[in-house]
Chain A
Amino acid sequence: MNSKTNRANHIILRVEGLKKYFPVRRGFFQKIAAWNKAVDGVSFEIQQGKTLGLVGESGCGKTTVARLILKLLESDAGKIVFRGTDISKLAENDMKLYRKDMQIVFQDPYGSLNPRMTVGLSIEEGLRILGIKNAPKRKERLEKLLQMVGMSPESADRYPHEFSGGQRQRIGIARALSVEPLLIICDEPVSALDVSIQAQIINLLKDLQDRLGLSYLFISHDLNVVGYLCNTIAVMYKGCIMEFAPAEQLFENPRHPYTISLLAAIPDPEPGNTPDLHLPERDLPDSSIPIFGCSFQGRCTLEETRCREERTTLAQVGEEHFVRCWKAAQNKIPKVS
């Protein structure tokens, strides 16, 4: 029991049954024709100092989850418990208290920095919010932040366009760090970068985590990056978490048919290893068309009548390993080698 309470204390963020439906409007009067279930009952928790990877294809709702947690979007239902407080219903003013503890690093380092502000001013903005009124102190802190992300103090007087993509991403990270957050949501932070730069930023994120004890929610479509960096991984498909497991578990013993085909599709930098396709030749179906039962139907090769008739639930199949598939829960998925 003791260990359980201990564990609860270490959970920095818990999301429970998070939902966000967007209206799909059609016709001359723009009547609501359907609901796009962008996030449909997502639950997970992140432990302090750990990294949770949220993976899935484009349009599966992973960025919407990030925006809901940061309250850049209002959720329709569900709880967002950050450091023991449910922030999902908090008013904008009360939210300020928590905002500095949660930061985001965006995908596009070109679009997320103000082109008219010097790098120094961009980062200092956070320090002002933190309430550091003394200018020399701010400057000192600014230099320390730049150094932390591996940039020279002179960069502070330059403008974003003078920097490369990787450097801009470092600036974005320094900016997020300026308010001393506990949790950083990284929304595809390395997807726009070249391979040689990608490794630099991944190493930087890892170093900062070790040094500052940060927790990350790492959103990515790249399973190689997620597999390298994350402690636990949640696989999302059409607004639902299909599988949730510690990283090693997920790669060694994937249970959901979707996870299996996703892993099989990773191009392996080993000559001769052809990705093995378990997916029928179909694309992601339109998520505004309501379906009953499992949301993976139509693309699943192991589909049965029951999949179309029964609501799916997350079933536990191992220690901290959950899967949203009745067949996987009953061990009826054929093993792939």
Chain B
Amino acid sequence: MTNDTLLSVKDLKVYFPAGDGIARAVDGVSFEVRRDETVCLVGESGCGKTVSALSILRLNPVPPAEIAGGRIMFDGQSLLKLDEESMRRLRGKHIAMVFQEPLTSLNPVFTIGDQIGEAVSIHENIGTEALHRRCVQLLKSVGMPFPEQRLKDYPHQLSGGQRQRVMIAMALACAPRLIIADEPTTALDVTVQAQILQLFKSIQKKRSMSLLYITHDLGVVANIADRVYVMYAGAIVEQGNTVQIFRHACHPYTQGLLASLPSRLKRGKRLYSIPGVVPNPAFKPKGCPFHPRCPYAEPVCREEFPEMCDYGDGHLARCPVLFDKRDL
């Protein structure tokens, strides 16, 4: 952990009861976010990316969730040890979150102005006039046209893209040092998605803050990330910067994901597809969770949970089989 590290998650384990057994949704996940950096957590549904992100803000309901182990350090504080009151002061002020579905995360009976205002006034003592000016300025900073009028609108009067802008404005309200965005553009059209991604980038440049961006869309990752963590079945399987991940993927899962992306350049060729399905978190296969779907699986993969192998320059992949085969 360097001085540069803003958030570090170490060996986090989050379990849920599932019938008779337990679902190990997050099973020993470690990652860090440095200052002024955009980190992407990428993986398919059910891989534990959202649960990992929610645990940072302690938003997973406990019970049923159980933090079975690990440590989350934010700016020198251990978040899992904080009391609820300090946690509440931290949420929104230092770490803010943007959710996937802007319509369900905005309150339908309050105006946009009320909701952005609330985000500010919870953490700051601020007069009505100043609050109003602050809200207008926040909406302006997220590229909302006619911010003055929009403040009086209710969420249903806005389009999907505008709602997501409001969510981002709320997240920015107290100038947090970290924004966690959980699939913020998945529900949006491509053209609107491109606008929102550009907005995230420009905000980050201007305000010097870190962004933890959760998505399943590799196209978005390549576009926005500095560093990437690829998750599969509750574990990080590969990490590195965007060039390392997209040009020199070293884990069979990452390689498979990239090869299975359709594009017009692959016309006429058969798409590679990873056989099988993502394992149920309650019945994960023994050994490497990816081995039933892996073209390189060897007997050892069925027995032992693989170690992270270091390819240098911060590029790590959890596949000793391919690591041994790398040409040096």
Which of A72-80, A151-159, A198-206, A309-317 binds B? A198-206
CB of B272, distance to nearest CB on chain A (Å):
7
A225 close to B262 (CB less than 8 A): yes
A337 at the interface (CB under 8 A from B): no
What sequence of 0s and 1s flags, for each residue 204-227 of chain A, a beta carbon within 8 Å of any chain B beta carbon?
001000000000000001011101
Return the CB mask of B144-186 against A: 1 if under 8 Å, else 0. Answer: 0100000000000001111000000000000000000000000
Interface residues on A, range: 35 or more
A265-B191, A271-B243, A284-B189 as given contacts; A194 in contact with B44, CB under 8 Å: yes
Query: Are A268 and B277 in contact (CB-based, < 8 A)?
Result: no
A117 and B271 CA atoms in complex are apart in Å by 33
Q: A196-B44, A202-B262, A268-B223 are in contact. Are A221 and B189 (CB under 8 A)?
A: yes
A57 in contact with B191 (CB, 8 Å): yes
Give the shortest distance, in Å, between B252 (CB) and chain A (any CB): 12
The interface residues of chain A lying within 8 Å CB-to-CB of B195 are 277, 279, 281
Query: CA A239 – CA B278 in complex, angstroms?
Result: 38
Contact A221 B256 (CB under 8 A): no
Which of these binds chain A: B26-34, B96-104, B212-220? B212-220
Q: Which of B247, B262, B264, B275 contacts A271 (CB 8 A)?
A: B247
B59: Cβ under 8 A from any A Cβ = no
CA distance A283 to B196 in the complex (A): 11
Q: Is A275 an interface residue (CB 8 A)?
A: yes
Contact assessment for A224 and B143 in the assembled complex, using a CB-CB cutoff below 8 Å: no
- A-B residue pairs in contact (CB < 8 Å), sample of 6: A203-B273, A264-B194, A267-B223, A269-B258, A271-B243, A282-B145
Distance (whole angstroms) from the CB of B183 to the closest CB of chain A: 13
Q: Is A97 an interface residue (CB 8 A)?
A: no
Whether, in the assembled complex, B78 has its beta carbon less than 8 Å from a beta carbon of chain A, the answer is no
> Does B216 contact A266, Cβ atoms closer than 8 Å?
no
Q: Which residues of B contact A202 (CB under 8 A)?
A: 262, 271
Please state if B257 and A262 are interface contacts (CB–CB under 8 Å): no
Q: Are B264 and A199 in contact (CB under 8 A)?
A: no
B223 CB contact (under 8 Å) in A58, A227, A275, A279 = A275
Chain B, interface SS category: helix
B273 pairs with A265, CB closer than 8 A? no
- In the complex, whether B90 has a CB less than 8 A from a CB of chain A is no
Contacts of B145 in A (CB 8 A): 281-282
Q: Which residues of B are in contact with A by a Cβ distance under 8 Å?
A: 44-45, 143, 145, 159-162, 189-195, 197-198, 216-223, 242-243, 246-247, 256-258, 260-264, 266-267, 270-275, 277-278
Q: Is the CB of B257 within 8 A of A196?
A: yes
Q: Does A273 contact B (CB under 8 A)?
A: yes
A190 to B196 Cα, complex, angstroms: 24
Tell me the chain A residues, 235-254 only, with Cβ under 8 Å from chain B: 247-248, 251
Contact B216 A194 (CB under 8 A): yes
* A199 and B271 form a contact (CB under 8 A): yes
From B217, B247, B277, give the contact of A197 (CB < 8 A).
B277
A7 to B168, CA, bound (A): 53
Q: Are B190 and A199 in contact (CB under 8 A)?
A: no
Contact of A262 among B143, B190, B198 (CB under 8 A): B190
A-B pairs, 4 with minimum CB distance: A227-B264, A267-B219, A199-B260, A199-B273
Contact A228 B263 (CB under 8 A): yes
A301 smallest CB distance to B (angstroms)? 13
Q: A221 to B191: give the CA distance in the assembly, Å.
A: 11
Contacts of A277 in B (CB 8 A): 194-195, 198
B261 x A224 contact (CB < 8 A): yes
Q: Which residues from B are CB-within-8-Å of A194?
A: 44-45, 216, 278
Q: Which of B189, B246, B273 contacts A196 (CB 8 A)?
A: B273
In contact, A228 and B271 (Cβ under 8 angstroms): yes
A229 within 8 A of B: yes
Q: How far is the CA of A268 from the CA of B261 in the complex (A)?
A: 10
Closest to B269 in A: A228
Q: Are B277 and A265 in contact (CB under 8 A)?
A: no
- What distance in Å separates the Cβ of A223 from its nearest Cβ neighbour in chain B? 7
Alpha-carbon separation in the docked complex, A282 to B191 (Å): 10
Q: How far is the CB of B319 from chain A (nearest CB, A)?
A: 17
The smallest C-beta distance from B262 to any residue of chain A, in angstroms, reads 4
With known contacts A273-B223, A274-B223, A196–B256 Cβ distance under 8 A: yes
**Cα–Cα, bound, A166→B217 (Å):** 17
List of A residues within 8 angstroms of B262 by Cβ? 198-199, 202, 224-225, 227-229
Q: Identify which of B45, B198, B219, B270 contacts A268 (C-beta below 8 A).
A: B219
Contacts of B216 in A (CB 8 A): 194-195
In Å, the complex CA distance between A262 and B189 comes to 10
- Are B190 and A195 in contact, with the CB atoms below 8 A? no
Residue of A nearest to B260 (CB): A199
**How many angstroms from the CA of A196 to the CA of B290 in the assembled complex?**
13
Q: What is the minimal beta-carbon distance from A154 to any residue of chain B, in angstroms?
A: 16
Report the bound CA distance from A196 to B255 in whole Å: 11
A199 to B195, CA, bound (A): 27
CA distance A202 to B261 in the complex (A): 10
Contact A224 B278 (CB under 8 A): no
Contact residues, A152-200 vs B (CB, 8 A): 164, 166-167, 194-200
